[in-house]
Amino acid sequence: MSIIWNDNTPIYRQLRDRVVAMILDGALKPGDALPSVRQVAADFQLNPITVSKGYQELVDEQLVEKRRGLGMYVTEGARATLMKSEREHFLREEWPALFARIQRMNLDLATLIKNAATTGEKS
């Protein structure tokens, strides 16, 4: 497998972000095992220290837990924790800009809700 890593973020951080995305998507569920450090190192051609560092970030954020002798597992509360921080991030960073744009375009609440309802039906 080949991935192009972007060169402005450390790779261990990008690895962490990938696992986070997989938890949010539901591709990794609470109680699921993460692949071993060795496996990830071989698959992505990374040195094992980089992989361990990425996993350690996830442990520090309590998204995964180390079970002695078994490996790393997604914690029960991982998705809820992530959702909470993602929501906060959205409201703090993205919503103000989005809201300003909505106002500039004179879109009223009723139109937005109507569109949201039809978009919801389609998906």
Binding residues for other proteins, rule: CB under 8 A, are 5, 7-8, 10-11, 38-39, 41-50
Least Å distance, CB 39 to other proteins, is 7
Q: Which residue's CB is nearer to other proteins, number 38 or number 87?
A: 38
CA distance 22 to 6: 19
CA distance 66 to 72: 5
CA distance 103 to 40: 46
CB-CB contact of 73 with 31 (8 Å): yes
Q: Which residue's CB is nearer to other proteins, number 13 or number 102?
A: 13
Least Å distance, CB 121 to other proteins, is 43
Q: Which residue's CB is nearer to other proteins, number 4 or number 110?
A: 4
